[in-house]
Amino acid sequence: MPTKEEWKKQLVDNAEQQILNLTDSDKFKNYLNTVAKFHRYSARNIDLIYSQNPEATQIAGFKQWKNDFNRSVNKGEKGIRIAAPMIKKLTPEDQKRLDTTKEKAIVGYRYIPVFDISQTSGEPVLSAKDFVKENLADHKNVTNLYNELKNYLNNNTDIKVSEKRLSELGGAKGYFQPSTNEIVIGSDEPDNALKLETLYHEYAHSQLHGLTSEFKDRPRAYQETQAEAVAYVAMQNIGVDTSNYSLGYVATWAKDKAVIHSALSEIQQVSNKVIELSDGLTKQLGLQEAPKEPEHDLKKLSAHDLNKSYQGLQQQIQQATSPQQKAQLKNQLNDVHQEISDRTQKQLKAFAEENPEIKQPDPEYDQSLKR
C-alpha cells in the first residue's frame, strides 16, 4: 500500500507520462479537447484530468453535483483527482519569513476527487455552450462572429486585420506578418467556418510568434502546429465541427520534456485568451441564448409545429441552469402561447359567424354561474 506522498507522486508521474505520449495527431486532438472543455483550470489540472479521463466533458465535486445540478454520482464511480490549493492564514512571523504583506498564502496542494457528468444521473444540464453550438449551425451567425472578432482586434488591440482576395495570397487562406503585426485573411473564402478558423489560427501566430515571442525562431512546422492547436481549441469551444482538422506530427515534441511543457503551456495560455474573447463576443451577439423564433415565422408555422415548439420550449425551461436563460426562454414561450391563443380566438369567431343558429353563452348567466 503506497504512502500518501507516494500516491501523489504516482498521480503526477502518470499525468507527466501521458503528456510525453502526445506523439500523433489523434492523441494531441484528445488532449486539446480537454483544454477546450476545462480552459478555466490550471495547466496542472488539465494534465491530471486528461491522464485519468480523456473523455471527460464537465466535472464537479460530489456535493456540487447534488446541490447545483440536482444530479447524483452513480454508485461505485471512481473520482478524477485534481489539485486543490491549501491556503494558510499567515502569522506575522510567516509574513516576515516569506517577505510578504499578504494575509494568506498557498502552502501546498491536496488531491481531491471530482466526477465527470457521465458518472452521474439526474436532471439534464443545459449550458450557454449548447445554445452557442445550436446558433452557429446557422452560417450567418458564423459570419457575424468572424466580423465581430475582426472588428474587436482592429479596434481594441495593436493588431491590424485586413482582407485580400485568395488569388493574392499564393494558395494560403491567410497569413500573419510579424514586422507589421498584421493579419490578412482571404476575403472570398466560401467556407465561413474555415474563414473564422483561419482568423483564430493567424491570431495565435500573432500571440505566439511575434517579434518578441520566445518561440519566434522555432521551425515553421512547429509554429504551425501550435497555431493550429489554438484554432482547434477555439473552434471546439464554440461547437464547430473539427473532425477534419490535421494537427501534423508532433513526435519531435516528446523528445524534450522542457520543450513540450513550454509549448503546451503557451498553447493553453493563448487558448484561454481566445476562448474568453470568443465567449464575450458570442454573448454580445446573443448566441448564448436559445435561438429565437421570429414573430413573423410563428405565424407561418402549422398548428402541429407550433404545439411542438411550445412543448420544446417547456422542456428547455426545465433544463436551463441560469436565470437569464430561463427568462429568455419564458419570453419565447409566452410569444408562442399568445400565437396559439390568437389562432384559437380567430377559429372560434369564424365558427360563430358560420353557425349563427348556435346560441352563444349569455354573459350574465355565465357570471351567475361563477358566483
User: Are residue 227 and residue 339 in the same domain, yes or no?
Assistant: no
Helices within the chain (DSSP H only): 4-20, 25-37, 43-52, 62-69, 92-98, 128-135, 139-156, 192-208, 220-237, 257-284, 295-300, 303-319, 323-354, 363-370
Of the residues 250, 284, 318, which one is the last residue of a structural domain?
Answer: 284
User: Are residue 149 and residue 271 in the same domain, yes or no?
Assistant: yes
User: Are residue 271 and residue 132 in the same domain, yes or no?
Assistant: yes
Query: Does residue 93 lie within any of the structural domains?
Result: no
- The angle formed by the CA atoms of residues 277, 210 and 179, to the nearest 5 degrees, is 120
Q: Residue 161: what residue type?
A: V
Which of left, alpha, beta for 122 (phi over 0: left; psi -120 to 50: alpha)? Answer: left
User: Are residue 241 and residue 328 in the same domain, yes or no?
Assistant: no
pLDDT of 355 reads 65
pLDDT of 233 reads 92
User: Are residue 252 and residue 194 in the same domain, yes or no?
Assistant: yes
Handedness of CA 268, 271, 277, 280 (dihedral sign): negative
- N- to C-terminal Cα separation, the chain: 79
User: Are residue 158 and residue 270 in the same domain, yes or no?
Assistant: yes
Query: Does residue 309 lie within any of the structural domains?
Result: yes
Q: What is the DSSP string of 219-240?
A: -HHHHHHHHHHHHHHHHHHTT-
Query: Does residue 85 lie within any of the structural domains?
Result: no
User: Are residue 339 and residue 275 in the same domain, yes or no?
Assistant: no
Residue 174, domain extent:
125-284
Query: Does residue 72 lie within any of the structural domains?
Result: no
* Predicted TM-score of the model (pTM): 0.72
| Separation between Cα atoms, residue 287 and residue 321, nearest integer Å | 16
Contacts of residue 25, Cβ cutoff 8 Å, sequence gap at least 6: 246, 247, 248, 249, 250
User: Are residue 155 and residue 205 in the same domain, yes or no?
Assistant: yes
Q: What is the DSSP string of 58-103?
A: -EE-HHHHHHHHSEEEPTTPPPEEEEEEEEEEPPHHHHHHHT---S
Of the residues 260, 284, 308, which one is the last residue of a structural domain?
Answer: 284
3-state secondary structure of 175: strand
- The angle formed by the CA atoms of residues 25, 26 and 32, to the nearest 5 degrees, is 85
The partner residues of 116 in beta bridges, in order of sequence, read: 59
pLDDT of 324 reads 63
User: Are residue 148 and residue 235 in the same domain, yes or no?
Assistant: yes
User: Under a CB-based contact definition with an 8 Å cutoff, are residues 54 and 288 in contact?
Assistant: no
Q: Residue 366: what residue type?
A: D
| Separation between Cα atoms, residue 150 and residue 236, nearest integer Å | 19
User: Are residue 154 and residue 264 in the same domain, yes or no?
Assistant: yes
User: Under a CB-based contact definition with an 8 Å cutoff, are residues 32 and 232 in contact?
Assistant: yes
Regions of the chain with pLDDT less than 50: 293-296, 363, 365-371
User: Are residue 226 and residue 350 in the same domain, yes or no?
Assistant: no
Tally the domains of the chain.
Answer: 2
Helix pair angle (43-52, 25-37), 10° resolution: 120
User: Are residue 334 and residue 263 in the same domain, yes or no?
Assistant: no
Of the residues 228, 254, 284, which one is the last residue of a structural domain?
Answer: 284
